[in-house]
Structure 1
Amino acid sequence: MAAAQHGNGFDPKRTKECVDRIEALAAKKQSLHMTYMSECAVINEDIGDVYEEAKNAWHIPKKALRTVIKARSTERKLEELRNDLDLVDRESFDQIRHALGDLADTPLRAAAISDSDADKGGKGTRQTRKERDAALDAVSTGNGAEKLATGLSKLN
């Protein structure tokens, strides 16, 4: 740092050089940002056209369709967050969601419902629900992959 200083201050030549380089890079960044934004505007217009077509040609309400698109995007983001966890943390995540009554949103519940319903062949929903809840409780008690595998085998 001492080499960058000039007398009691900074070397004016080096300081100007740094400022000029930073400003040039910032200008380049701004230019790229504007290019990106103009490309996005074209895509946004295309998306708007599809919404209009859905409304006019097939009578799909735009507000409901936008909400579905947003919900699906949010679900994908949540699934990515869950998948970024290691196996132990993912199991804990599912247990916490189950404890909060949120298990309906997790892949474990979806698998449990589809596997249980397929195996029962249309058996009464009360019995199916009791068995499914017992299997999910088995998964949510205790730790480790062994408990998870035991709970999943009960689901199957």
Structure 2
Amino acid sequence: MSAHEPADAVTKAAAVLEEAARTGVPCAPVRSLLPEADIEAAYAVQRLHVERGITAGRRLVGRKIGLTSPAVQRQLGVDQPDFGALFADMAVPEGQPIAPGRLLQPKVEAEVALVLGTDLPQHDPTVADLLRATAFALPALEIVDSRIADWD
């Protein structure tokens, strides 16, 4: 594989996912476009998505950590949590409806949201850093959605 192929694969995977979001038509899994079992390539797709969102004027307001439970990790065949970005336009105020057609395959999960009063250190924050930075916690509902066809 040449040095530019992984970047090309990341760009192509991001384009497929963006097209699914734009059209509202789920796509085939993009893992076949990336080097096999390459989590760094998958996160590169996510970073590109975030960069493009910010360039388009979206405002990054938070981060998400999922699959933190070892039991859920075992159930899904993974061995670590996953991480994501939260944009302001992803939030739905309490009591407000979600526009029909906005989501492709929604599922709802109960979550705990930590609202930070200060930023975390950029590299390797500890649990103590998180506790010091947390202003408060509150219940939240996460609407999990996927652009991938037949996602379960």
Band the TM-score falls in, shorter-chain normalisation: under 0.3
> Structure 1-normalised TM-score?
0.26
Indicate the structure (1 or 2) with the bigger Cα radius of gyration: 1
Q: Report which of the two has the higher share of helix.
A: 1
* Structure that is richer in strand per residue: 2
